[in-house]
Amino acid sequence: MTDLRRLPLHDLHVELGARMVPFAGWEMPVQYAGVMPEHLAVRSGAGLFDVSHMGQVILHPRRDMAQLAADLAALMPVEVAALPEGRQRYGLLTNVDGGIIDDLMFANRGDHFLLVVNAARADVDIAHLREHLGDQVQPVSRALLALQGPMAEDALAPLVPAVRGMRFMDVMTADTLFGPLWISRSGYTGEDGFEISVPAPGAEGLARALLRNAQPIGLGARDSLRLEAGLCLYGHDIDETTSPVEAGLTWAIQKSRRTGGFPGEERILAELSEGAGRRRVGLRPEGRAPMREGTKLFAGDRQVGIVTSGGFGPSVGAPIAMGYVEADAAAIDTQLSGEVRGKLLPVTVSALPFHQTTYKR
Amino acid sequence: MKYTEDHEWLRIEGDLVVVGITEHAATQLGDVVFVELPEVETMVATGDEVVVIESVKAASDILAPIDGEIVAVNTKLVDNPGLVNEDPLGRAWFFKLKVDDLSVLDEFMDEDEYADLIG
């Protein structure tokens, strides 16, 4: 086993009673009080997540932002040039086969772009970006905290009053005694909230200040929250074989990009016009038995798909799952069955998200 | 009360053995959201997977600690799986076994030995 990397806030997590587990090469807090109470605390109040394992990458233009935007757009089926300064957008790096190398957030911060990428994909992403963008690609090692929930604004505003004026996907810089914070109004829970990049030496002070009005939340609740919000987890719901269209991420491909000019355009454009052979769908198992990742899905005795994320939704109060099914089994309300411990149990194709999102538009 | 290395507790009740999981196990599992119980009158052998427990995190099994016949199951857990976290040593028993010879319990850990195991 390789050595696990430690978060800048490792000692704080231990002090707060976290159970630490290996995840994507890092030693991460999976839970503090418990997945269920943490999940519900984010839905009703405010929760603080340490997501410093995620990759933060700055793209500094060699020449100018317009050229850099064009070069970045050549790697993603996503509109980059029209993203105004101070705004963030969801992006997808695609490969030549139309599969997804990673999903990410990118922000226009005036004289550079800031990318936040998945921890487990950071090395792959950086190599891929460097191959195309060269030394404009500069990974940064800062801590990253996510503050999520209906009380998130009230928890952050005492430190940074200007956040009250931010809308969903706005970004800003705030100079604080913890160092310059790079703040975005976004997250991975379906709730209103913020993601805050902070210089590692200031991270503990910032976390302790935020914990006065928020409770610490581990990776366990992060997973159940994002599943209820219908958000994809890389390596499970999307990977290098799934296309953005199959994954139901066509909303991320703006109209201006539906003519091509990105890796995998042949497959992605064909699927945009003709539909994909399989689709990511929401799934509601009947009864209480969760259908976990890997559960096979059947229409009659024909296997039509597989669960890629599944568990119990604490706010839904029932098991929920996502998975891929063949196109003719993907309509909402289609009755399927899932094989759980050798038994076929009923499951219904359902709309996503399972829990209504509450972003501040 | 006796304890197994799989974090089950065994309690003698008349000529039956009542089986549940320890507080330590319940805490490790996290919030239990689903319990699947065996049929009564099932003959089980040591190590058989008898009960499925799903927490918010993962699925786990409870194994039969000894040979015997399942003569009762706690159906309250099916409707209220959270009992496993609320009262693991009491109301959240899983099943009752009829065994030939209660002396088989002697080989299991007592409370002090179990406390040493979980440290």
Which parts of A134-229 fold into alpha helices (H)? 152-156, 200-210, 219-228
- Partners of A34 on chain B (C-beta within 8 Å) are 30-31
Check if B45 contacts A (Cβ < 8 Å).
no
Question: What is the sign, positive or negative, of the torsion defined by CA atoms of A221, A222, A223, A226?
Answer: positive
Predicted pLDDT at B59: 87
Give the count of beta carbons closer than 10 Å to the beta carbon of residue A40.
Answer: 16
pLDDT digits (tens, 9 = 90+) for B61-109: 999 999 999 999 999 999 999 999 999 999 999 999 999 999 999 999 9
pLDDT mean across residues, chain B: 94
* Torsion of Cα atoms, A11 then A15 then A21 then A24, to 10°: -40
pLDDT at A2: 64
> Is residue B101 packed enough to be buried (19+ CB in 10 Å), middle (13-18) or exposed (0-12)?
exposed
- In this predicted structure, what is the pLDDT of residue B42? 94
DSSP-derived letter for residue A9 is T
Across B56-94, the runs of DSSP E, i.e. the strands, are 59-63, 68-73
Q: pLDDT averaged over chain A?
A: 97
Tell me the C-alpha distance between A85 and A78, whole Å: 16
Range from A2-6, A48-52, A250-254 carrying the lowest mean pLDDT: A2-6
* Test the A interface: residue of B27, B28, B33, B62 with most A CBs within 10 Å: B33
Over residues A169-201, the pLDDT tens digits come to 999 999 999 999 999 999 999 999 999 999 999
pLDDT tens-place string over residues B59-74: 899 999 999 999 999 9
> Spelled out in words, what is the top-level CATH class assigned to the domain B2-100?
mainly beta
- Average pLDDT of span A39-55: 98
Three-class secondary structure of residue A201 per DSSP: helix
Contact A292 B56 (CB under 8 A): no
Is residue B33 within 8 angstroms of chain A, CB to CB? yes
Q: Which of A101, A186, A96, A97 is nearest to A145 (CA)?
A: A186
Instruction: Encode pLDDT of A326-340 as tens digits.
Output: 999 999 999 999 999
Domain boundaries, chain B: 2-100
What number is the average pLDDT over the span A293-312? 97
Where does the pLDDT of residue A112 fall: very low under 50, low under 70, confident under 90, or very high at 90 and above? very high
In contact, B93 and B19? CB cutoff 8 Å:
yes
Looking at the complex, report in whole angstroms how far the Cα of residue B49 sits from the nearest Cα belonging to chain A: 11
ipTM score here?
0.80
Q: Which two tokens stand for residue A201?
A: 């030496």
- A115/chain B closest Cα distance in angstroms: 30
Give me the pLDDT at residue A3, please. 84
Q: Are A42 and A225 in contact (CB under 8 A)?
A: yes
Query: What is the rounded distance in angstroms from the CA atom of residue A113 to the CA atom of residue B66?
Result: 63
Out of A141-145, A294-298, B54-58, pick the least confident.
Answer: B54-58
User: What is the mean predicted confidence (pLDDT) over A151-170?
Assistant: 98
- CB-CB contact of A129 with A57 (8 Å): yes
pLDDT tens-digit series, residues A56-101: 999 999 999 999 999 999 999 999 999 999 999 999 999 999 999 9
Residue B8: strand pairing partners: B21
What is the average per-residue pLDDT within B30-49? 94
Structure tokens at A305: 């798909």
Q: Summarize the confidence of residues A106-134 as an average pLDDT.
A: 98
- Give the Cα separation of A121 and A308 in Å (integer): 18
Q: List the domains of chain A with CATH numbers.
A: 5-52+142-228 (3.30.1360.120), 55-125+243-273 (3.30.70.1400), 277-361 (2.40.30.110)
Q: Please give the pLDDT value at position B7.
A: 96
